[in-house]
Structure 1
Amino acid sequence: MVLKSKSAIVTGSTSGIGLAIAKGFAAEGANVVINGFGQPADIERERAALENEYGVKVLYSAADMTKPEDIAGMIKLADDSFGSVDVLVNNAGIQFVSPIEEFPAAKWEQIIAINLSSAFYAMHHAIPLMKARKWGRIINTASAHSLVASPYKSAYVSAKHGIAGLTKTAALETAAYGINVNCISPGYVWTPLVESQIPDTMKARGLTKDQVINDVLLHAQPTKQFVTVDQIAALAVFLCSDAASQITGANIPVDGGWTAQ
């Protein structure tokens, strides 16, 4: 097992990409701290399912990613409970779409805090623990928007470009300590949230389901296929393996060719 006897923190992991990564790590033997918002009963069901299926310890942290003190507490929870923080995945993120001149200041601050600053604070507290053990893996969930821009997404694009730069800087600072820092940049990923938007788009635009998928949602992706959460999780597991020990400071697109254009 790639991560047997190691511990991992995955932010924004109560659903979607983050939950898939947490499952991938648990399947490889890691104890995991999951984090994110949701209904308490749903979160507890997922937490217990991970423990029962994979025979590892799984804790839940309700840390608010806009609050540095909560992030520090989440790192401490993992270290106190598991004896180490070996893997950190900064996955938490939100989106808001608006022209720059109409973009609400509060939304800008929230997106920068959750999508960028939270990664800095988590790394700030986790890196000393990894340096002490001379081993660590940090994976930041970026986006195709860390490499290219789209209109009306100023805060998100800025944050994701920032994540790419933060990843490179951290990789250089930690390279001599057995710590690898990389980011994964997904394109459009098939999630329940995306699926739920299809009927409204069909109605609003007078399109078929296939037209919505190919001509609206997947317009930017040459493969015309969604990325799956399991594909992202598999890459995250690989980046924690010995085979990936010389991959650091990389920004790896998983976007169906979007950013190759």
Structure 2
Amino acid sequence: MSLAGKTAVITGSNSGIGLGLAKALAGAGADVVLNSYTDNDEDHALADQIATEFGVTARYIKADLSKGDEARALIETAGACDILVNNAGIQQVAPIEEFPVAKWDAIIAIMLSSAFHTTAMAVPMMRKAGWGRILNISSAHGLRASPYKSAYVAAKHGVVGLTKVVALETAEDPITANAICPGYVLTPLVEAQIPDTMKQYDMDRETAIREVILARQPSKEFATLEQLGGLAVFLCSDHAAQITGTTQSMDGGWTAR
């Protein structure tokens, strides 16, 4: 499943799922472009580390994906985009009547509108190159809902719909578009939340994970960054050339209910 010679642009990739996917694609031989809204030495150091570890070209490009022009400029600045991974996201939890309007606007812009802008720029590049893969990181919440997450659920459902439209528009090209829908993934951010959950519910670590954090995930196990990375590499490979317009769940059975 070599991706040597391909360039992958991964939004929101200086930590968590995005960084894990970048490393997986680099491990398969792809050159990678990391992205977030910051522009720190640490961001560029991550790209240098990936380049050294995997023997690929890696760069970091700052872009505030809440702004459509910057989302488009990200792809233009990258210069090539054989693989596009739309991953950037934020979260806010509140009842809909109390949901901050500014947070609604930001979540929709960063998680849905940015995917429209990056895809609109990347598809012509892919057609010119004669090959392309678009991976939109949705969520189990792209297929199911939870209370108090109106913007997140709306954005993730929108990403699934956008994926299907792009798949149909590129169906006769050697381009695929698919949405990955994880449940709970063990990222550093989730790991940091476990002690607070243990304290809040007066539970040991294992019980807090199984009964609170993973209450809706039937397997009672987190998905891992390595598992998500393996799925991403497969979807980018020639083995998946006829997989397009789909949602690929990795949620321990959550959406089987």
Whichever residue aligns with residue 29 of structure 1, its letter is: G
Q: Is the 8 A contact 2:142 2:153 kept in 1?
A: yes
Structure 2 match to 1:127: 123
The alpha carbon displacement at 1:202 in A equals 1.7
Written as runs of structure 1 = structure 2, the 5 A alignment for 1:246-257 is 246-257=242-253
Written as runs of structure 1 = structure 2, the 5 A alignment for 1:163-242 is 163-242=159-238
Structure 1 match to 2:85: 89
Whichever residue aligns with residue 42 of structure 2, its letter is: D
Structure 1 match to 2:28: 28
Q: SS of 1:175's equivalent?
A: coil
1:78 matches 2:78 = yes
1:139 matches 2:135 = yes
- TM-score by length of structure 2 reads 0.97
The alpha carbon displacement at 1:239 in A equals 0.4
Q: SS of 1:97's equivalent?
A: coil
Q: Is the 8 A contact 1:137 1:180 kept in 2?
A: yes
d(CA) in 2 for partners of 1:27 and 1:198? 29
Unaligned 5+ segments in structure 2 are none
Q: Is the 8 A contact 1:27 1:54 kept in 2?
A: yes
- CA offset digits 1:75-115 (Å, max 9, x no partner): 11111xxxx31000000011110000000000000000011
Unaligned 5+ segments in structure 1 are none
The number of equivalent residue pairs is: 257
Q: Is the 8 A contact 2:48 2:59 kept in 1?
A: no
Q: Is the 8 A contact 2:39 2:62 kept in 1?
A: no
Structure 1 match to 2:3: 3
d(CA) in 2 for partners of 1:77 and 1:56? 18
Structure 2 match to 1:155: 151
The worse-fitting range, judged by mean Cα deviation, of 69-78 and 141-150 is 69-78
Structure 2 match to 1:43: 43
Whichever residue aligns with residue 235 of structure 1, its letter is: L
d(CA) in 2 for partners of 1:246 and 1:238? 12
d(CA) in 1 for partners of 2:222 and 2:37? 25
- Using the aligned pairs only, state the percent identity: 54
d(CA) in 2 for partners of 1:24 and 1:194? 20
**Over the residues paired in the alignment, what is the CA RMSD in angstroms?**
1.1
Q: SS of 1:107's equivalent?
A: helix
Q: Is the 8 A contact 2:183 2:217 kept in 1?
A: yes
- CA offset digits 1:47-79 (Å, max 9, x no partner): 111111111111111100111111121111111
Structure 2 match to 1:115: 111
Displacement over 3 Å in runs of 4+: none
The worse-fitting range, judged by mean Cα deviation, of 204-213 and 100-109 is 204-213
Q: SS of 2:43's equivalent?
A: helix
Structure 2 match to 1:243: 239
The alpha carbon displacement at 1:161 in A equals 0.4
- TM-score by length of structure 1 reads 0.96
Q: Is the 8 A contact 2:72 2:121 kept in 1?
A: yes
d(CA) in 1 for partners of 2:253 and 2:170? 30
- CA offset digits 1:199-242 (Å, max 9, x no partner): 22222222221221001000011110000011111100000101
